A and B are shown apart, each in its own frame.
Chain A
Amino acid sequence: MNAPTSPPDLRVSALVVLAGIGGAWALLISSLADPATPKDGAFWGATIVVALLAVSGIRRLAAIDGPRMYASASALLFGGWLLYFWQLFTIALDVPRVLLPAPSLIAAAFGEHMGTLQSDFVQTVVRAVALGWVLGSGLGFCVGVAIDRMPFLQRGLLPLASLTSTIPLVGVAPIAVMWFGFEWPSKAAVVVLMTFFPMLVSTLAGLRAADRLERELMHSYAASYWRTLWSLRLPTALPFLFSALKVNATLALIGAIVAEFFGSPTSGLGFRISTEATRMNMGLVWAAVAVAAVTGSAVYALLVSIEKRAAFWHPSVRGKK
């Protein structure tokens, strides 16, 4: 079973990882990987050797106990190997571009259509997503704070607001197009609708997070409602607010992109993905997807780092290094 194995020697591990990378490089530029050469035992043998080196390198890195750096390194190495084999097989086996373009082709498409993708990014992310996200989350927060003192309204609104997460809200995109036109305001409207309810639910939950004891302490200080809200209840609600902001960031991107699938002007990430896919220009499609993915994770990372600064005192943040 799980016999406690001694951690692998660092120097040997480094050697295995480097040997794998070197072998991979040699295989990729050798004539074996050329689509013109027939794929015989030599190619498959070399591929298996590289694959074994790759697996062994990842295993060794993952087995190291220690700083988190090693864990991220093995994840990065795994991602790198995935990309490598994607590149190797698509090139060497001459996989049709429609089916799966090689990463190098996607990168080339990215470089070639930089200007297009930039305007798509501005159209979708800077306009529709950012505005919709701020408006939707802001409205959700304000309504949450406003109805905080009305338990009757809360009891009525909260169950309905939680139910909206099960409804395909993005389906309102065609209606938004009719009301606000083809341009980005209709996409922003969809995003507002999609981000409003998660924020409302989280705000209400966060405002209830403060302890009874803490509230009574504020009461004994003769703190007013607003003072209690500002000094106690909003700070305790911060983790809830941030988790809603993070969820909303992803939802907003999905909402804007999918709303563009339903109909859009001639730019936008969703528009690019859907139209270039029908034209079988898959390199550009993958490049647009990559832009969306990088945007999503970058915004998420940004929010996490802001949360660390804003709610540094909270146990949920302190626990993480």
Chain B
Amino acid sequence: MATTTSAPPPSWGQRLTEQGLPIAVVLLFTMALWYALTVYLNAPGAIERVLEPKGPWTWQDLVAATMTVQRPVLPAPHQVALDLYSSLVDWPVTSPRNLLFHVAVTGESTLVGFVMGTLLGLVLSVCIVHSRTLDKALLPWIVASQSIPVLAIAPIVLVILGTMGFSGVAPKAVIAMYLCFFPVTVAMVQGLRSPQVIETEMMHTYAATRWQALWMLRLPAALPFLFPALRVGIAAGLVGAMVAELPTGAQAGLGARLLTGSYYGQTVQIWSALVMSAFVGLALTAAMGAIEALVLGKRRQL
């Protein structure tokens, strides 16, 4: 809260009980709820298809049957975990049955698009900050784009690039790129403008050129604005790359995996693909956080 500078930093044990324990409790509760839902949702199907033909059954039979039924309405957490594990262990990484293969496909286009979109956003934001015309004429449109579902033009991008002869990574990366581009641009314009008047005037009295002022004052000042946008951008890029895998009937990628799972009613496959994409999202954001800590870590201590 307000000023806690006098209090000693919490020890590891304290942090574990204050932070870890509540999270663990919530997670445990979620798991319990999931199991309860598994039994509840799968019960009608299990009774109809597994138990009734065999004759009388107890509620233990019912619970067991709900966890083993073919194509469950909701697979139990351990079923999803087992499916994930077996896909990672039983098949080589190059096989489409291994989820890591799909992670690599989706991750590649996400990262390529993310890097391109970030670079584009950086360049454009520098231009906007230095040009009054761009600031007045272009920036409002970029800001407005935040309130419209830009992901909706993904199929258009796919068709355009498809007729131009691009396939594979390129179309998916382009979609991930423009999704990353908007948040990065908006945040960087804000960040590059964040230095106080007194600071920019000091650069002026040092006879610093525009480029020097940009490099030594504006860019460092913009970094705390950049990283949150990068986290938003890479998460949006992942969604974009997954969505881009849908209409092409792509053979590979997490989005394609979700779609084929739903075509064939393979619920366990859908859930494991979903859990895997959640892990990818978390990992990408965590990587961004790590880079942020590396770059800005020293600054925080001041």
Contact = CB atoms under 8 A, between A and B. Distances in A.
Interface of A: 1, 58-59, 61-63, 71-72, 74-75, 77-79, 96, 98-100, 152-157, 159-160, 163, 165-168, 170-175, 177-179, 212, 246, 249-250, 253-254, 257-258, 261-263, 269-270, 273-274, 277-278, 280, 282, 285-286, 288-289, 292-293, 296-297, 299-300
Interface string B109-141: 000000000000000000000001101111111
Given A59-B133, A250-B147, A262-B259, A270 B22 contact: no
Given A75-B137, A174-B258, A269 B152 contact: yes
B136 A172 contact: no
B87 interface: no
Contact of B152 (A74, A157, A262, A292): A292
B23 A277 contact: no
Interface in B262-302: 262, 265, 267, 270-271, 273-274, 277-278, 281-282, 284-285
Contacts, number: 178
Given A261-B247, A282-B156, 13 more contacts: A61-B137, A75-B139, A99-B163, A160-B26, A171-B277, A172-B274, A177-B262, A257-B149, A257-B151, A258-B151, A261-B243, A273-B152, A278-B155
Contact of A77 (B22, B137, B259): B137
A74 B137 CA distance: 5
A179 B274 CA distance: 16
Nearest to B234: A166
B136 A74 contact: yes
A262 B137 contact: no
- Majority secondary structure of chain A interface residues (helix, strand, loop or mixed): helix
Contacts of B267: 175, 178
Interface of B: 1-2, 18-19, 21-27, 73, 132-133, 135-141, 144, 146-149, 151-153, 155-156, 158-160, 163-164, 210, 231-232, 235, 238-239, 242-243, 246-247, 254-255, 258-259, 261-262, 265, 267, 270-271, 273-274, 277-278, 281-282, 284-285
- Majority secondary structure of chain B interface residues (helix, strand, loop or mixed): helix
Contacts of A61: 136-137
Contacts of A297: 144, 147-148
Contacts of A98: 159-160, 163
Q: Which 8 pairs of residues, A with B, have the shortest CB-CB distance? A: A156-B22, A174-B262, A78-B137, A156-B26, A300-B147, A62-B136, A296-B148, A277-B155
Contact of A168 (B18, B24, B239): B239
B265 A289 contact: no
29 contacts: A62-B136, A63-B133, A78-B137, A99-B160, A99-B163, A100-B160, A153-B22, A156-B27, A157-B26, A165-B235, A166-B282, A168-B238, A168-B242, A168-B281, A173-B258, A250-B146, A257-B149, A258-B239, A261-B247, A262-B259, A274-B246, A277-B155, A282-B159, A285-B159, A286-B156, A293-B148, A296-B147, A296-B148, A297-B144
A173 to B, nearest CB: 8
A100 B156 CA distance: 9
Contacts of A212: 1-2
B262 A262 contact: yes
Contacts of B258: 171, 173-174, 262
Contacts of B270: 174-175
A168 B235 CA distance: 7
A167 B146 contact: no
Contacts of B147: 246, 249-250, 296-297, 299-300
Interface centre among B21, B141, B158, B274 (most CB of A within 10 A): B274
A296 B149 contact: yes
Contacts of A262: 246, 258-259, 262
Contact of B273 (A171, A246, A274, A277): A171
A178 B265 contact: yes
A58 B22 contact: no
Nearest to B27: A160
A174 B151 contact: no
